[in-house]
Amino acid sequence: MTKNSENEACPFKTSIGGQALLEGILMRGPEKQAIVCRLSDGTLQDKVEEVKPNPLAKIPFLRGVPVFLSSMVRGMEAVTYSAGLLPEEEQGEPDKLDLWLERHLGSEKAQKAVIGVAVVLGLALSVGLFVLLPAFFYSLLPDSIHLVLRCLMEGAVRIVIFLLYLWLMTRLGDMKRLFAYHGAEHKSIFCYEKGLPLTVENVRRQSRFHPRCGTSFLVVTMLMAILVVSVMTWVLSLIPGVAALSRVPATLVRILGKLIVLPVIVSVTYELNRWVGRHDGNPLARAAAWPGKQIQHLTTREPDDSMIEVAIAALKLVIPEQKGADAW
């Protein structure tokens, strides 16, 4: 991959996006969602569903949170589906909770319950790691350190935790293949946006670092959170009642304030991410996308040709019949 081909601007920007799965890829377009997985015998299995329109999807600053939550649910459903296609020896035995849910709710409702619990636990883990833990660190800092500097140090801890989390993921053997499928997804979308035939050879030449990746969204969300929380903390410090609180109650007030403004941060960041995706030739947009693209050095790997074939198959299934209907 040469530097020029990596930075080449795409004449068309698609709203089609994807997610890497266990030996497969999820692609979602404006009309259809497709999951394509490679089975143990080397063949491909696909699952295509119609996309139900979200009434909030076209309303700026109201669509960020529902789109984010919907993506989490769809992602968990797709991961569960791909895991079910793995050879039985790789799936493991169902635990007592799974068996109890299936007995009392039926297999379909049990699966939805498990996915719901997984989404809630995922959100709880994210809040614990990226909100509560940095806030605890902030509470340990002495008051002699300037307020703004304390907020920046708290933000730095949040970023370090995020990077450490991603780095640990890269150490896991199974995640290496998952990240390679992530790279295949990006490469295939780049190939499609450049108007090239979707062949393995054409896709292989593309960059695996895409400016409209969900990873970029998470990174920009964290940076935005640092700015917003710093301003919020400064405002709270000007309120006599809050300023007079002892350290522990004051920390709890800050945590509550962060949780309240978190949906606002997600909504604003979502709109910023859309703007960056539309204007990747703009120097400011390029600067905003740069941190996320650097993180993709951790979250993507170069795929092999069999992975690229999966990405191409999934992408072809969701490209709308009307040309340009999937424009970003």
Q: Is there a domain that residue 323 lies in?
A: no
Q: What value does the mean pLDDT take over residues 94-98?
A: 56
Model confidence band, residue 49 (pLDDT cutoffs 50, 70, 90): very high
- Look at residue 101 and tell me whether its pLDDT is greater than 70: no
Q: Is there a domain that residue 309 lies in?
A: yes
Q: Which DSSP state fits 45?
A: E
Instruction: Give per-residue burial for 176-186: e unless 16+ CB within 10 Å, then b.
Output: ebbbbbbbbbb
Q: What value does the mean pLDDT take over residues 80-108?
A: 66
- Look at residue 218 and tell me whether its pLDDT is greater than 60: yes
**Could you read off the pLDDT of 227-253 as tens digits, one per residue?**
888 888 888 888 888 777 777 788 888
**pLDDT for res 281:** 79
* Pick from 299, 2, 324, 34: nearest CA to 192: 324
**pLDDT for res 164:** 92
Q: What value does the mean pLDDT take over residues 43-47?
A: 96
- Look at residue 111 and tell me whether its pLDDT is greater than 70: no
Q: Is there a domain that residue 104 lies in?
A: yes
Q: Is there a domain that residue 124 lies in?
A: yes
Q: Is there a domain that residue 327 lies in?
A: no
Q: What value does the mean pLDDT take over residues 62-72?
A: 89
Domain count, the chain: 1
**Could you read off the pLDDT of 273-300 as tens digits, one per residue?**
888 888 877 898 888 889 888 999 999 9
Q: How far is CA 257 from CA 217, 251, 254, 274, 310, in A?
A: 22, 10, 5, 26, 44
Q: Please tell me the pTM assigned to this model.
A: 0.83
Distance of CA 165 to the CA centre of its chain: 14
**pLDDT for res 27:** 97
Domain containing 52 equals 3-318
- Look at residue 202 and tell me whether its pLDDT is greater than 90: yes
32-36, 43-47, 243-247: which has the minimum mean pLDDT? Answer: 243-247
Q: Is there a domain that residue 326 lies in?
A: no
Q: Is there a domain that residue 267 lies in?
A: yes
Question: At 265, which helix (H) or strand (E)?
Answer: helix 247-278
**pLDDT for res 4:** 39
Q: Is there a domain that residue 328 lies in?
A: no
**Could you read off the pLDDT of 169-185 as tens digits, one per residue?**
888 877 899 999 999 99
